[in-house]
A and B are shown apart, each in its own frame.
Chain A
Amino acid sequence: MAGSISATADRELVVTRVIDAPRRLVFRAWTQPEHIARWWGPQGFTTIHCDMDIRVGGTYRFGMRSPQGTEHWKRGVYREIVEPERIVFTFAWEDPDGHPGYELLTTVTFSEQGTKTRLTLHQAMFETTEGRDGHVTGWTSCLERFADYMLTMA
């Protein structure tokens, strides 16, 4: 496993991972329900529902159960599907009443690296025009300083 993670300056999450499998297989694992059901979610979680209409504008809804028995549902819309390079979709967890919460835009790109595949997952925390400007000075560093501050308070 080779990978890294960073929370970039503007509330975005970037995860990269080099996976020892050919790109077409990795892409399939992200776009076919029978595959997704086998790996989606944290360790110990089981997929209890998985429907996906994999086309631009198509929706998906996944349900998973935690080891403690709590159900978690998420849904979204596919915005872009470029086989075998890229998938873009929205992502929102549902509250207990089934209403979708905060919506995120997730972009997953697959690039060939020899016989392996480099996967890059990019998740934008929100999409306001305001949020796109002037994010170079990091709110991350703000949070880090804040964490230090918390330590001094403890």
Chain B
Amino acid sequence: MALDHLSRTFSALADPTRRAILARLISGETSVTELAEPFAMSLPAISKHLKVLERAGLIVRTREAQWRPCKLEARPLKGASDWLERYRIFWEQSLDRLEGYLKELQGKEKRRGRKH
């Protein structure tokens, strides 16, 4: 996944209202009115959030139906999650190696009879 896509995904996810909208969409297609219900927010305000999510590719809005339901789009979220996971592995394995290296280093120091 390209990094600018990731930036868009993370920016879109940076807002609690937008995360709540996504969480709501997990249970299926939903209308804008329904999405707005749990929030003390006007429809235009919700629409703004939906636009951000749409640009980030996190949701799609059907044009066929009159009520234009919103639907969750899986791939970008998966990309963001994979990206985090890659860093996790990177650091875990680097620290494993650091531990091994320091053990070796200290062993050498001891053999030379030096004290730390």
Contact = CB atoms under 8 A, between A and B. Distances in A.
B74 A150 contact: yes
A126 B92 contact: no
A7 B89 CA distance: 12
A147 B16 contact: no
A68 B102 CA distance: 26
A43 B97 contact: yes
Given A139-B19, A145-B23, A147-B81, A29 B91 contact: no
Q: Is the contact region of chain A dominated by helix, strand, or loop, or is it mixed?
A: mixed
Nearest to B11: A128
B93 interface: yes
A58 interface: no
A39 B100 contact: yes
Interface string B69-83: 000101001101100
A123 interface: yes
A135 B89 CA distance: 24
B22 interface: yes
A141 B51 CA distance: 23
Nearest to B90: A42
Given A13-B84, A38-B101, A102-B7, A131 B23 contact: no
Given A139-B19, A145-B23, A29 B101 contact: yes
A48 B73 CA distance: 40
Q: Is the contact region of chain B dominated by helix, strand, or loop, or is it mixed?
A: helix
A15 B3 contact: no
Interface residues of A, number: 49
Contacts of B10: 11, 125-126, 131
A136 B20 CA distance: 12
A60 B92 CA distance: 21
Nearest to A141: B23
B38 to A, nearest CB: 13
26 contacts: A5-B88, A7-B88, A10-B14, A13-B88, A15-B88, A26-B102, A35-B101, A38-B97, A41-B94, A42-B94, A95-B3, A102-B3, A119-B95, A123-B91, A126-B11, A131-B10, A134-B15, A134-B16, A135-B14, A136-B16, A139-B19, A142-B13, A142-B19, A142-B23, A149-B26, A150-B78
Given A7-B84, A146-B78, 19 more contacts: A1-B96, A1-B99, A5-B91, A19-B98, A20-B102, A26-B102, A35-B101, A39-B98, A42-B93, A123-B87, A126-B11, A133-B16, A135-B16, A137-B20, A142-B77, A143-B81, A145-B26, A146-B22, A146-B26
